[in-house]
Amino acid sequence: MSEAAANQAAELDLGEEIVVAEGIHKSFNRGHKEREIHVLRGVDLQVAKGEVLVVIGPSGSGKSTLLRCLNFIAPPDAGSVTFLGHCLTGEVPRRRPAERMRYERALRFYRTHIGMVFQHFNLFPHMTAADNVALGPTRALGLTRREAKERSLEELERVGMGEKAGQYPSQLSGGQKQRVAIARALAMRPQLMLFDEATSALDPELIGGILEEMKRLAESGMTMIVVTHEMGFAREVGDRVLFMDEGVVVEEGGAREVIESPQHERTQAFLSAILS
């Protein structure tokens, strides 16, 4: 699908599903009897355009892995992910080159249209902030150096990092790094943003600023899936909440309802532990 077609698809009515995942299974160390860990055990989710889905749950429950399955950074072992009309499974067609190429193209489509922000920022240390942001647009979208540079400065400006464009990641604070990482993801003009515990590695005084940035993004209509332990953010900004434990979705519902009056006892136990 071309970029124009993708944009067209994205302009469909509000309420249109942007991403639907069905029956996602994922194990690590597959095939090694004792070391195999079944991280995701049949997870379904769907997110509508403009919706903010917050995923909560204890560590090790598979939240991060779920995000990585959606853009196939960690391809699911079973199940499918439908994104803007494409449908992919984790099964790579190895035999037929034509199908393989179609698969690779679809993968590229997913990744260029799904932005991801990581817990540990994962900025490229050998590039300035501006080059970090410009890399995707030049190498994956085919923009010229100049166009990419312009877009990069624009996105850095938007997250308040315009003055740091020439700095290297090591010269930035954690909060500044995460702003650059957000700009890097947004420079791809994604249709969906994934946040993987974007504030967990930050000093306490820097968390608020990043959450503010994410809130602003949500208000601008961005579709987001946010893995977080910040329950205040989940309640205020989230439309829906998914509570995961041991690789399955235990409870799902409106953000306020789930957080204020959880139905399932595991959700209750988790929330009371985290909020006390």
The site for other proteins (CB under 8 A) is made up of 68, 71, 73, 108, 111-112, 114-116, 118, 120, 122-126, 135-136, 139-141, 168, 170-171, 184-185, 188
- Which residue in 209, 235, 210, 239 sits closest to 222, CA to CA? 239
Q: By C-beta, is 112 or 223 nearer to other proteins? A: 112
- Least distance in angstroms from the C-beta of 131 to other proteins: 10
Q: Is 68 helix (H, G, I), strand (E, B) or coil?
A: helix
- Least distance in angstroms from the C-beta of 186 to other proteins: 11
CA distance 95 to 89: 16
Q: By C-beta, is 135 or 248 nearer to other proteins? A: 135
- Least distance in angstroms from the C-beta of 108 to other proteins: 5
- Least distance in angstroms from the C-beta of 187 to other proteins: 9
Q: By C-beta, is 111 or 256 nearer to other proteins? A: 111
Q: By C-beta, is 172 or 218 nearer to other proteins? A: 172
CA distance 37 to 35: 6
CA atoms within 13 A on the CB side of 15: 1
Residue 92 neighbours by CB under 8 Å, 6+ apart: 75, 100, 103
Q: Are 86 and 1 in contact (CB under 8 A)?
A: yes
- Least distance in angstroms from the C-beta of 16 to other proteins: 23
CA distance 195 to 104: 24
Q: By C-beta, is 124 or 157 nearer to other proteins? A: 124
Question: Considering Cα of 84, then 138, then 182, then 218, what sign does the dihedral take?
Answer: negative
Output the six-digit token pair for 143: 């923009």
- Least distance in angstroms from the C-beta of 2 to other proteins: 14
For residue 139, the one-letter residue type is R
Q: By C-beta, is 12 or 140 nearer to other proteins? A: 140
